[in-house]
């Protein structure tokens, strides 16, 4: 696990064996992802999701897994928050595919600007790969004057 990561990626996991690898692999395409901690919270999955999460954790020192009984995504996110060491938090759903260019831009922004929060919208894609909606990244800054 990286010391003092700038970003903690928290991913609740529940019965997503068909999506989880795609989600994690999309994060791997981001430059500098090894400096980030990824926390997978298995929420009592009954399919192969927990095994997939454990396999990634064994192969990559910056990925950890929390195993819980099924309590829902909010409790899972809070469990991830209690373990997170990053200055910033990124909540990712286990069926998301993360755009590596966008995440790289966000990580650069976190290092170069004094921001409290960065929000961006999603690109919705249907099962055929067609874009349904495309929005842009928004930066919010809070000045302590």
- Please answer whether residues 52 and 14 qualify as being in contact, where contact means their C-beta atoms are separated by less than 8 angstroms: no
Strand partners, 68: 43
- Please answer whether residues 125 and 111 qualify as being in contact, where contact means their C-beta atoms are separated by less than 8 angstroms: no
CA separation for the pair 83, 103 (Å, rounded) = 21
Give the position of tokens 């980030």: 36
Question: Residue 101: is its pLDDT beyond 90?
Answer: no
pTM of the model: 0.85
CA separation for the pair 100, 128 (Å, rounded) = 21
Strand partners, 42: 13, 67
- pLDDT tens-digit series, residues 78-88: 999 999 999 89
- pLDDT tens-digit series, residues 44-87: 999 999 999 999 999 999 999 999 999 999 999 999 999 999 98
Nearest Cα neighbor of 65 from 77, 79, 53 is 53
Q: Give the confidence band of 31 by pLDDT, cuts at 50, 70, 90.
A: confident
Helix (H, G, I), strand (E, B) or coil at 67: strand
Helix (H, G, I), strand (E, B) or coil at 95: coil
């Amino acid at each position: 696990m990286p010391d003092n990561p700038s970003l903690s990626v928290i991913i609740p996991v529940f019965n997503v064996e068909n999506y989880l690898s795609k989600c994690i692999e999309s994060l791997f395409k981001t430059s500098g992802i090894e400096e980030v901690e990824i926390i997978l919270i298995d929420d009592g999955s009954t399919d192969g999701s927990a095994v997939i999460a454990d396999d990634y954790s064994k192969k990559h020192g910056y990925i950890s897994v929390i195993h819980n009984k099924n309590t829902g995504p909010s409790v899972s996110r809070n469990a991830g928050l209690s373990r997170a060491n990053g200055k910033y938090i990124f909540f990712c759903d286990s069926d998301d595919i993360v755009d590596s260019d966008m995440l790289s831009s966000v990580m650069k922004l976190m290092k170069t600007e004094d921001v409290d929060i960065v929000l961006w919208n999603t690109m919705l894609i249907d099962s055929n790969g067609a874009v349904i909606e495309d929005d842009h990244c928004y930066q919010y800054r809070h000045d302590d004057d």
